[in-house]
Structure 1
Amino acid sequence: MLSRREMRLVPRGDGAGVMFLWKGRFKADTDQRVRDFTQSLDLDWCLAEDDIRGSLAHAKMLCEVGIITREDLVLIERGLNEILEEVRSGQFVPDPGLEDVHMNVEARLTAKVGPSGAKLHSGRSRNDQVATAVRLYLRRRLKDLKLSLGGLLKNLLELSRRHEDVIVPGYTHLQQAQPISLGHYWMSHFWAFLRDGERLDFALRSLRLCPLGAGALAGSTLPLDRFMTARELGFEGPTENSLDTVAQRDVLLDVHYFCLSCALHWSRLCEDLIIYASREFGWMDLPDQFCTGSSMMPQKKNPDVLELSRGKASGVLGRFVDLACMVKGLPLTYNRDLQEDKRGLFENLNVTQSVLSVLSALLEGVQVDPDRGVKAFEDGLALATDVAEYLVMRGVPFREAHEKVGKLVRWCVDNQRSLRTLGIEEISRFIPEAAEDLLPLLDVKASVDRRTTYGGTSREQVRRQREEGERRLSAWLSDSEVPLD
């Protein structure tokens, strides 16, 4: 392996160090502080394999169009494949003095194969080179995220099946609103995350065109075959406009938005579970292995995983805004600000991957106390809407029905009576239209199962939407139109 000094002074064939591609324009060497400040290896070394893959395709194309010889291609391919193994094994330690992953790979290649390696950069800039490597990298990362999100979705379907018959309060304004099937609750999160899956697919499709050959901004005078390069790398074709290719970061924002939308959804789910597992609610219990204790209070069982996931969602949002603010006022085309575009992107991918994995595992161990859930309905007030709709079916205008039931609720609160225990005589004092057939409706299970509108909380509807969810999930996981490789 080359020493640090050897890597910095690899010959290009003209006596200049490969580090200073721009040396001919300047009278003085770059200040070491500037080199340290502008290096990007902490960001882009993870792109090494993808950079090499792009270089292999570029070399093959250069040979095909006659810019390099067959002998050059053989040497370049051999050298790049050896470097790929060095990267994978950890033998290749990059030199920060060479600024970025691209320069490190090129310097290593030239050291291995001589002048042939110095021909590889013909017809390309680091602008289109990194854009290509990032797209290859994102295709791999999004494929992994799709599998992780799919696992979470499967767990939500299983929870819905397991808890279909469990009745719990549904809330608005964090106040009891109406009884719902817990299976219906889990499906609400399923549909939200499945929409995130569609956003992930959109992000994948936005990666379908190849930037390589766009050059620094204007293409090249060399007879490059961009269609060949795109095919070699598994893209549908080349990007349409060289200026747009190197200037815009739409595809990164698409990936960010998938991560952000997912984070907003997991944060709300975490908030719910934290509340429902508190002693004040108490009808949900989190698995011990995903909670922590207190260093001082022996009784504590803290939902740290959920709280950290909720907290990490803020960072995902911040990094999305960071890139949006960065690109909003940049003149075309490339500006060095864009070197920082990957910092937040990679972090958001890592956070999303970790949260999806840990949250999916946590959900597998969630336990529910059905009796505690039903006990929350002791005052019966969550059935007030059922009474109002009963009156509507008897021809009472809804606003009038709402007022009458509201007065009955007020009386129950003042007299500490449960709506569920009232006789028809007591109810009739406020609602003369009420009859004996109202009393069987004052039951939480009956209330849930009577909500049979499409998408409602009845167990029949929960089963229907779960079947549809299973079908949609299967189709999403097997979507052949999305480029995963």
Structure 2
Amino acid sequence: MKLWGGRFNKDTNELMKRFNNSFYVDKRLYKQDIRGSIAHVKMLGRVNILRKDEVDKIINGLEEIMMEIEDGRLKLEGDFEDIHSFVESKLLQRIGEVAKKLHTSRSRNDQVAVDMKMFVKDEISALISKIDVLIECLKKKGKENEYLMPGFTHLQPAQVITFRYHLMAYVEMLKRDKKRLLNAISLLDESPLGSCALAGTTNDIDRDFTSKELGFRCPTKNYLDSVSDRDYLIEILSAFSIIMMHLSRLSEELIIWCTPQFRFVTLSDEYSTGSSLMPQKKNPDSLELIRGKIGRVYGSLINILTILKALPLAYNKDMQEDKECFFDALDTVNICIEVMIGVVETMKVNKEEMLKSIDKGYINATEVADYLVKKGVPFRDAHEIVGRIVLYCEEKGRAIEKLDLDELKSFSEKIEEDIYEYIDYSNILKKGNKKYILMEVE
């Protein structure tokens, strides 16, 4: 069924039909398209554009189509231009000529706009729930494994922290990711339905009713903007890109940590793969794929930005291309979060390897400098003194805490016996504002 054609003398070229067809992509919007149509028909009845019997017949037909798709009796397939023509065609087959009244006071421009907004609201709500699961998973894994470990800068040992504290850094990132998504949802929470093609309708329709019926905060204010707006997709794809960036950073650290050189964690066999040649290999492919798939999501963001660049108002067919890149990014973020949940839940944390690594890299050197400051030495002088102590330790192959008191005093007479307690790794995190590292901060 074609939703247009009265002013054309020739049929559409078959190549053009295939080129123009978006049904293979936008069929994912069937729930939102049917919900939007039901709300629209109810409104047409309320304002006496349709009779009650017509409204009931159309709604019953739409609900039947929804049920048949849901239980598999009706397949989302066939030679249709888009999801709108599919639904209207199936409705016409079921209820006859009255189906042709469905599209009164509506354009596909505002129809697809409201479909996409509803779809995004539904999907982002589900995605936020998955982010919550990952947050709880990281917190649980950290709480179960609150072991001392080195923190790094430049991938070099820097200062002592705990494994839980390191994971909690990613919890903070994910919390911000949630806020970005929620902010984007709040900005898109206005219904474009009733804007029609770009300039509303001469019929006295009730946009407030359809807005409330579909769960929006209010109707949009400007019809032209309503059908042109895809800002929210840019914002959400930007949020997706940041989520993937965060996941890629966690992936990279876990990849490093599961190498024989670190062995801080061991990935489960469930989320590892092997080599077709080297029988000893256990590869972190789950994490490498998360790290690699970031390119798809970044690409989708650039795609939608490029589509909308310099695009005149109102609707243009270019905008049909927004869905494929958005759906791909959405699917990618969803599966990457799900896989990361599985990786974190099943990985083993190796306490002994972490504790052994503390003895490498002089990661209590800053605390020696702090100790000297407390003894009255200016920080810059303390920094210089500790630098010489580290150089001495490197030459001797010894740790700072293993030096004799006489050796330490040779660098500064301010150093006393109490330095050993001060720079003991088990005590460092109990001093100053470092104590917050050991606290459970939600």
TM-score, L = length of structure 2:
0.96
Give the structure 2 partner of residue 434 of structure 1: 415
Which of 164, 174, 198 is equivalent to 1:193? 174
**Does the CA contact (< 8 Å) of 1:380 and 1:442 recur in 2?**
no
In structure 2, what is the Cα distance between the partners aligned to 1:397 and 1:244?
A: 62
Between the aligned partners of 1:338 and 1:296, the Cα distance in structure 2 is 47
Maintained 8 Å contact 1:379/1:419: no
Task: For residue 315 of structure 1, report the CA deviation from its aligned partner.
Answer: 1.2
Which secondary structure does the structure 2 equivalent of 1:179 belong to?
strand
Unaligned runs of 5+ in 2: none
Map Cα deviations across residues 19-44 of structure 1 (whole Å, 9 max, x no partner): 051x2322222111001001001211
* Structure 2 residue 257 is the aligned partner of structure 1 residue 288: no
Distance 2:438 2:108 in 1: 53
Residue of structure 2 aligned with 1:37, choices 19, 23, 42: 19
Query: Which piece of structure 1 moves more, 90-99 or 276-285?
Result: 90-99
Q: Which residue of 1 aligns with 2:307?
A: 326
- Which of 369, 372, 384 is residue 388 of structure 1 equivalent to? 369
Task: Please state how far the C-alpha of 1:337 moved relative to its aligned partner.
Answer: 0.8
Q: 2:248 aligns with which of 248, 259, 267?
A: 267
Which letter does structure 2 place at the counterpart of 1:115? E
Report 1:16-415 matches (<5 A). 19-21=2-4, 23-94=5-76, 96-164=78-146, 166-379=147-360, 381-415=362-396
Q: In the aligned structure 1, how far is the partner of 2:346 from the partner of 2:80?
A: 49
Do the aligned residues in 2 keep the contact of 1:163 with 1:183 (CA within 8 Å)? yes
Q: Distance in 2 between matches of 1:379 and 1:63?
A: 76
8 Å Cα contact 1:49/1:87 also seen in 2: no
Deviation by residue 1:338-370 (Cα, 9 ceiling, x = unmatched): 101011111111111111112112211222222
Aligned-partner residue type, residue 277 of structure 1: C
Structure 1 residue 292, shift from structure 2 partner: 1.2
SS of equivalent residue, structure 2 residue 274: coil
Deviation of 1:255 (Å): 2.0
CA distance in 1, matches of 2:361, 2:227: 63
Moved more, 357-366 or 46-55: 357-366
How big is the shift at 1:273? Answer: 0.5
Per the TM alignment, residue 114 of structure 1 is displaced from its structure 2 partner at its CA by 2.0
Q: For 1:185 and 1:252, how far apart are their aligned partners in 2?
A: 32
Correspondence for 2:439: 463
* Partner-residue secondary structure (3-state), 1:381: coil
**Could you list the per-position Cα deviations for residues 53-89 of structure 1 after superposition, in whole angstroms to 9, with x for gaps in the alignment?**
1001101111111222222112211211111122212
What SS does the corresponding residue of 1:68 show, helix, strand or coil? coil
- Measured after TM superposition, the shift of residue 95 of structure 1 is 5.3
* Structure 1 position 375, deviation (Å): 1.3
Q: Which amino acid aligns with 2:340?
A: L
Aligned-residue identity in percent: 37
Which string of whole-angstrom CA distances, capped at 9 and with x for unpartnered residues, describes residues 153-211 of structure 1?
111111221122x0111100000001111111111111111111112222322332111
Report the 3-state secondary structure (helix = DSSP H, G, I; strand = E; otherwise coil) of the residue aligned with 2:55.
helix
Q: Give a deviation string over 1:198-253, Cα, whole Å, max 9, x none.
A: 12222322332111001111111111110011111121211111111111211212
For the aligned residue pairs, the C-alpha RMSD in angstroms reads: 1.6
Deviations 1:126-174 (A, max 9, x none): 111011111221222122112211111111111221122x011110000
- TM-score, L = length of structure 1: 0.88
Cα 1:380–1:75 shift into 2, 3 Å: closer
Assess if the C-alpha contact under 8 Å between 2:149 and 2:354 holds in 1.
Answer: yes
**32-41 or 105-114, which deviates more:** 105-114
